Structure 1
Amino acid sequence: MSAIVDSNDGPNEIIKVLFALYPGYDTLDVAGPLEVLNQARHNPKDPSTKAFECQFVGVEKGMTSSQGMTIRSDMDYEDAEDELEEFDVLIVPGGDGIFEVLKNNSEPLNLLQKYVEIQEKNPAKERTILAVCTGSLALAQKGLLEGLAATTHPDYYTRLETICQEASARDMSMRTDVMEERYVVNNARFDLGENPDENPYIIKKAPQGHARRKSIARKGSNAWKESRRRESIARRASMPLGGTRVITTGGITAGLDASLYLVGSLVSHEVALEVSRVLQYNWVKGVTVDAIDV
């Protein structure tokens, strides 16, 4: 993380976020999460306590969405690899261009793999990948959803299942549970609560189950308690992908919901609710899949 900001509760670190852009990304897949994260403050009453710092990586200086919006890149993918260890969150949007990415095996596929490799080497740090909408297809092709649960835009459930099955066969690894959810969280650690077995928000992932169910509201978050962080390091190291928290979302606007979840887990649930209020957005909850016993 980068700078330290002060709030009434003491100093808080700014959470560094990198958006991985490619030609033809979806505008709202980027703008939605960006707006949510930009509104988050460690202390909602203090504008100086901004919780997230967002940057963009692209193959060109200006990256244009399928709707025609251009975002200036802060760095190219080569430079991003050099700085990748500094980022706490990597966000991959969906969009029409993702299919060219899959076809050409182009960025951000390599960056995703590098990010996970960094986490596997250093599981003591908390890192998150958020794939919005069809961005989950990129994770699937790289085999990063093997043994996990995931979702995507409803029109692409079958496509996601097919890519996951092909990756599982290629790598001789565990399959992926494709779920019909607003968003799906894997490798959660601090946000399960004191008694996960009593929390209806959490789905226990059975080894052979293909769970499909409606989303239900989560309970409050225990995010960033230092004692829980220390206790979780060993568990994180034993998780898939070095304990990288992997979040996939349903269609386009679900990126807003998952971003609010991210605020809740990395800052606080109360701050996430405040951001939702400010945006006048009705936060629709997804699910956490607890694969501890798999």
Structure 2
Amino acid sequence: MSAIYEGPEGSAEPVKVLITLHEGMDAMDVVGPLEVFSWARHDKKNPETKAFTVSFAAAEEHTVSAQGASFRAHMTFDEAMKRLPEVDLLVIPGGGTEKILKSKAQPLALIKKFAEVQLKDPGRERTLMSVCTGSFFLAEAGVLSGLSATTHPDFITKLEILCSNVTLRDMADRCDVVEQRYVVNNLRFDLGENEDENPYIMTRKELKEAKRRKSSLVSPPSPIEERSNGTDGARRPSGARKGSMSWKASNTRRESVLKRSNLRLGGLRVLSTSGVTSGIDGALYMVGAMVSDDAAEEVARVMCHKWIKGMVVDGTDV
């Protein structure tokens, strides 16, 4: 099995993604994010500017999904444990969770180790993302303590019970389980001097007020107004940065590192998504955060997918 793919020579440093595989997983939980990250470019006209590289880790070379599809891993879990410090984004698919939870098997140890890596090294911005019932693994590993999370609507109650049991087991803070398309904790640490001027999220009260104002307009906002204010005419103006340049800066700026070190899990961004196809939307959020909103919108266009936004703690993604 090969190591993590580094991308074409001379290209911008790609975001290194590692997706775990386990028997009985849902294929779309893997393929959805894989498709998104495979299409993302820093420059949509230049195929050599791939923004992400993706690798698979599993217990065996071949892993069969619940749908009968076989996936081939690039590395074993043992190899992945050693390579975690260089991983920027760890993606955990759902499906077939019962056996893993009962046996305390991988990827539970991998998830715990990834969180520990971030705590020890907050100088690098890292993200942990789950798809569908993959959030059960995050809960069992204890990383959802004090955070908010979601899962497939049919499994919300089960996740609440699991999180309650983990809270008692670890004597830790509870997890706030919500029903959303996706939920982002520790979203971005380099969005300007004033946290209250983050243009990429709005509180629910602000969103409600923005929608009220929009519905009361005599004429709809112009395309220029929509672009400057956000897709719903509501985005707050700000000079804050977002995307690849901001991501690179957040790994080098002393202020960003200090801020991360004071957050839960050393500033590890934790993103959980709802049912199967929501993994596409969560992955698009990551393209928007790590590259640009324009890049994410282009990927959605190429995939003929309508990007459904979720929430960030404590606000609504716009």
**Same topology, TM > 0.5:** yes
Q: Over residues 50-92 of structure 1, what are the superposed CA-to-partner deviations in whole Å (9 max), with x where a residue is unaligned?
A: 1111111111110110000101111111111111111111000
Q: 1:274: Cα distance to partner?
A: 0.6
Q: Which runs of 5+ in 1 are unaligned?
A: 205-215
Measured after TM superposition, the shift of residue 278 of structure 1 is 0.7
| Equivalent residue, structure 2, for 1:186 | 185
* 1:241 shift after superposition: 1.0
SS in structure 2 opposite 1:12? coil
What is the aligned-residue RMSD (CA, Å)? Answer: 2.3
Pair 181,138 (structure 1): closer, same or farther in 2 beyond 3 Å? same
Quote the residue 1:103 is aligned against.
Answer: 102
3-state SS of the aligned residue for 2:12? strand
**Alpha-carbon distance in structure 2 between the residues aligned to 1:238 and 1:155:** 35
Shift of 1:48: 0.5
- d(CA) in 2 for partners of 1:165, 1:117: 22
Counterpart Cα distance in 2 of 1:235 and 1:175: 23
CA 163–265 in structure 1, closer or farther in 2 if over 3 Å, else same? same
Q: Match of 1:162, as an amino acid?
A: I
Q: Contact 2:242–2:290 (CA<8 Å) still a contact in 1?
A: no
Write out aligned runs for 1:223-242 (5 A): 223=243, 224-225=245-246, 227=249, 230=253, 231-242=255-266
TM-score normalised by the chain length of structure 1: 0.87
**How far apart, CA to CA, are the structure 2 residues paired with 1:191 and 1:150?**
23
* Deviation per residue, 1:116-161 (Å, 9 max, x gap): 1111100010111110000000000111100000000000111111
Q: Give % identity.
A: 45
**Partner AA of 2:114 in structure 1:** Y
CA shift for structure 1 position 228: 5.3
Matches within 5 A, 1:8-47: 12-47=12-47
Unaligned runs of 5+ in 2: 205-230
Distance in 1 (alpha carbons) for counterparts of 2:108 and 2:23? 14
Q: Secondary structure at the match of 1:248?
A: strand
- Counterpart of 2:313 in 1: which secondary structure? strand
The verdict on how the C-alpha distance between 1:186 and 1:172 changes in structure 2, with shifts beyond 3 A counting, is same
Query: SS of the residue aligned with 1:252?
Result: coil
Question: Which moves more between the two structures, 147-156 or 222-231?
Answer: 222-231
The amino acid that maps onto 1:115 is F
Q: Is the contact between residue 193 and residue 222 of structure 1 (CA under 8 Å) also seen in structure 2?
A: no
CA offset at residue 202 of structure 1? Answer: 4.1
Q: Distance in 2 between matches of 1:190 and 1:127?
A: 11
Counterpart-to-counterpart distance in 1, 2:53 and 2:180 = 28
Q: Distance in 2 between matches of 1:177 and 1:28?
A: 26
Give the distance between the partners of 1:140 and 1:221, measured in 2 at CA: 32
Computing the radius of gyration over CA atoms, which structure comes out larger, 1 or 2? 2
Q: Which residue of 1 aligns with 2:65?
A: 65
| Deviation by residue 1:172-208 (Cα, 9 ceiling, x = unmatched) | 111111111100000112475676535583459xxxx
Alignment length, in residue pairs? 275
Mapped to 2, the partners of 1:93 and 1:36 lie a distance apart of 15
Post-superposition shift, 1:221? 6.5
Q: CA deviation at 1:227?
A: 5.0
* Aligned residue identity for 1:58: A
Task: Provide the residue aligned with 2:124 in structure 1.
Answer: 125
State which drifts further: 158-167 or 30-39. Answer: 158-167
Q: Aligned equivalents of 2:46 and 2:182: distance in 1?
A: 30
Residue 21 of structure 1 and its aligned partner are, at CA, apart by 0.8
Judging changes above 3 Å, is the alpha-carbon distance between structure 1 residues 290 and 4 closer, same or farther for their aligned structure 2 residues? farther
Q: Is the 8 A contact 1:24 1:65 kept in 2?
A: yes
Change (3 A) 1:221 1:178: farther
Q: Give, in whole Å, the separation in 1 of the partners of 2:120 and 2:70.
A: 35
Task: Encode CA deviations 1:247-292: one digit per residue, 9 max, x unaligned.
Answer: 000000100000000000011111001101111100000111159x
Q: Using the alignment, how far apart are the partners of 2:89 and 2:191 within structure 1?
A: 19
Counterparts of 1:29 and 1:193, CA distance in 2: 33
Report the equivalent of 1:207. Answer: none
Using structure 2 for the length normalisation, give the TM-score: 0.81
